[in-house]
Every structure is written in C-alpha cells, then in structure tokens.
Structure 1
Amino acid sequence: MVLEDPSNPLVLRNYAQYLESKRDFSGAEEFYFRATQADPNDGEILSRYAKLVWELHGDQTRASGYFERAAKAAPEDSNVLAAYANFLWEIDANEEEEHSSNAQVDENAVLVDLPAKDFKEEKRPSSPPLHLAMGLGIGRMDLVGINQDYIISCPDDRTTLEEYYKRVVDENPCNPLFLRNYAHFLHQSKGDLHGAEEYYSRAILADPSDGQALSLYADIVWQRHHDKDRAVVYFERAAQATPETVFIPFGFSNVLASYAKFLWEVEDEEDAIEEAKNRMPVGQGTATAANA
C-alpha cells in the first residue's frame, strides 16, 4: 500500500503504527515523519510523531514543537490534548527531580546546625496571606509543619482554615488568588459546588486572564449544570490564557488534562445517547419527540 500510494498520510500513518506495534521504532519514526510532511495539519499524526520523538530521543524542544502544532491543529481532540498534557507532566517531573537532586544537603550537617528555636520559628508563616495565595490548605499540604486543618498565627490563636480563608477573602474581596483558592477549598474540602461556583466566578471577574480559575470554573459548570456549551467556552479561554511555559502546581498541563477529561466525558455521553437511540424500536424515538 505504501509503495502504491507513497503520499497518502493515512497510509503512511497506519504503516507507522504497524511498525510501532512491531517495536520497529526507527522505522515508525520515519513513516510518521513522512506522514507529517504529507499532511502538516493532521493533529493526530503530529501528536504521535511528537510522542515518538520524545520517547526515542528525549528531545524536549522538537517534541514540544510538534505537540504544539498538534494541539493547534486539533484543539478539541481529547487524545491529542491528553498526550500533550502527559508530555508536559513528564517534563515537570524531570525538572522537579533534577531540582531536588541539586538541592540536597548533608543531612548530618543539618541536624547539627539547625537549632530547635529556628525550627519552631519556621513553622509559622511570616505572611499568612502570601501562603494562602500560594494555595496553602488545598488538598493535603504539610508545608513547614502546617496541615490543611489549621493555620497557626500565634501559639494561643487557632483559626480553622475555612474561617481563615473567609476572613482573608472578606479583607481582600478583589484578589483573584484568594478568591480562587477559597473556591477550590469549598469544592475539594467541603463539597460545596454552589459556593465554589460563586467564588470562581468572582475570581474570573477579578482576573479574566487567569487560566487556572477559568479551567476550574469550567469544570464546576460542567459538574453542576452539565452545560456543555458554557463549559467549552471557559475551557477554551483557559487553554488560551495559560502560558505553556508555566510550571506550577496547576499549570498548562493540568488545564489541558481537565479539558481532555471534559471532552472524553462529552464524547462518552454522546455515544451513550446515540446507542440508546439505536436500541429504540423503530418509530419510538419519533413518537417520544412528538409527545414531548
């Protein structure tokens, strides 16, 4: 087939997949590349080629270039977005591992030189609002001795995390970071979707270019209202607003992954509806629609 139609991108892609299944990765790389040349706008082919470039050569720059082209060519393809998100996660993990390795110190020296007094002082955030903006208390974060249940501002003053968030938000009603983190707390820790939706909405109004807030709000809209059209709008805005170079706990890879998950769920739901229609006796679907 390849010899008969050497410029057909689908034929080239299928042969590359066949070679990949045979573990002939060098051959697969060649034919995926030829397929990208035959059709430079096929997001799936670009994504598969990028994945192989990354796995074979570890070439982050080349792989990133092809993944970016793939995402632009197929912005609603959940498989393409998921592959790109996975690639970005791997980059994050590699950079974190390298940073952790470089930052290691002599454990014995630390034990000798670190007085108990200094350790006690480190347990108290010097600027609670800054820690709150960074996401303290979202999920289980035992940073500097503080867990998600309490913020310790002084030895005799214990404030629950929810009260602390609420107070800081009341004092800073237009701060998008505080609003977003309080919304995330309400969603994840309290299961309060209504409250989370309200505060995500306020965070977006405070900063319409915050891709993280847009993505989290889109997810809430989908979970709470099942409004596909509204959710798509906010997910697309999130993907456009989030820089691809930002490596933070909820960065571009997580925005893409959330968008991909949403697209999968929509696709599964549409498939289920179509299957249900196909299983209906002939004429029943029409009758149901007429009765409605």
Structure 2
Amino acid sequence: MKRRHFLKSAGAMTLAAPAVFASASPAPGKTEAAHPRLDVTWYGGATMLLSCGELTLLTDPAFGEGRKAFRMGNPNAMFDLAKGPDIIFHERLTEFRGMDLSDIDYGLLSHLHEDHFDQKAEQTLSRDLPFFVPVHDRETMAGKGFTNLRQADWGEEHVLEKGGVSVSVIAIPAEHSENPEISRILGFGNGYWLTFRDGDWSKSVYWTGDTFPTPNVLKALEPFGAPDILIPHLGGVGSTGPLGQISMGAADAAEFVAHLQPGKVLPIHHSTYALYLEPVSGLPAALEGKTAGLDLVSEGTRVSYS
C-alpha cells in the first residue's frame, strides 16, 4: 500500500459546499492595528488562520461537520496491518464557526490525511489558491485539480510579502510516529517555521504538524532557537490501534516545550473530532505547573500576539 494512502478513503464523497462559509457569529477579519501583531484564529483540528497586517495564511483546511465530517481510515481500531484500516466516517464534536475564504492569501498543508484536508475543503477551496505542500503530496494535490502548488522542501525558505508585511516560510520535517517504520507507512509530512515581519517587528511561529520530538525533528530545529509561539498538534491519535500513537499527547508536547523554550504555547489538534483520544486538559500537569505562556482556547477563538 502506498505511503500516505494507508489511512485514506477510497474516493471523495459528494458534499454540498457553498463558495463562502457564513459564520453564525462575526468571524475575525484581517489584522487592523496601529501596532504590528499576529492574529491566530483556531477553527478546530489543525485549521487556523494566521493574519498579520493584510497577509493571511490558512493551515490544513477541514470544514466538514456533524457525524460525517470526513471519511478516512480509523487508526484507533484494531486492524490487519497488511490490509489497512477500515474506512469510516469520522464525527466532528464541535461547531465549525465558518470563515470568509476571500481573506486567504496562501494555504499551508502539513499533510493530506483527511482530518487535515477533508472532502468538504477539497470541494470548496478555489483551485488556484496558492498552496505550500509537502513533496509527498504535490502529485496528489495536482490530481485534485489544484494548480498553484509550491513544493515546500525541508529547510528551503520561501518569503511572501503583502502590504508591507512579510513572512518567511520554512518547512520542518514531521514524523507521524516515534517508530520509523510506522512513519514510513504513514508518509512524512511538514511542520513549518514561520517568521512574520513588519519593519523592525517580528514574530516567530513553529507549527509542528503531526509529529513527535524525534531526534531528526529536533536536529532540524537547532538553527532556529526558541520560537515566540509553539503550536503543537495533540490528541493522542492511534494509541488504541496497531499503529500505536501517531499524534502527540501532553507528555510529548511538554518535551517540545522543554527543548525549545517557546515564549507562548497554543495547542491545537485536540477536542474537535472523536478521532482525538487524549483531552488537552492533561497538558498543564505535563508542563509541571510551568503554564505562564500556555494559551488554551476553544474553536473560533482569535489570539493576538504583539
């Protein structure tokens, strides 16, 4: 079985999808501030808007709702590794607040598992939206009809500019398991080191993607130092299945924090789906009380960093 396709559904399902989502409550717009700041709005799962001035990035779009939010293999159930997991619908447990897609300048993809790029997002997003994608996923994204793809190779820098604001985008290796063989089965993805700049002001973000603090990942991070903001993926996915744990739990995130010493920690990839097994409530204890920089937020919340 091909890498990355191990958990994937056999095909896209048909979903009614509007061109623009209308939010039940006013969705945060782009940053409007006298002084530079970075606004991070978490929409659930690994989906965020990161806005600085006129520049907005969308991460890992997943827009499905309800009991059939997306279709993918079930890594939490026991299955024959030679045959692969059962393909099922996965339930979203929380409301999707909606977003104005016209605000988005670039997309960032960590990898193509459907809890990170679901069937509804595939049907809804403009095919010419500029997307940074891992090397392993470029061909598949092109096959879905997306035409403005930028391959994000590990360690390679891309600089985006708009309205006097710039962001440096550097892909960091993401290893989906601490077991190298399981990582190979699932396919390697990307985390991203982002540095936003507006004049003399700057703010660095390390968005981990689905990874663990493995030796390979920590070595790749050595040149960057301490990020202003660490955004880790939690959830403890897979801990009840034959693959073993394939997304971080609280103890793994605490290891990242101890190693990187970030200024702020904004955990995502928890609580949204039944797929996620470990609640985020364990993170404060794993941090051993060192929670001064911990931002625990619910979906739809915008956090501003100046």
Larger radius of gyration: 1
TM-score of the superposed pair, with normalisation by structure 2: 0.23
Q: Higher strand fraction: Structure 1 or Structure 2?
A: 2
Higher relative contact order (CA 8 A, sep 6+): 2
TM-score of the superposed pair, with normalisation by structure 1: 0.23
Q: Higher helix fraction: Structure 1 or Structure 2?
A: 1
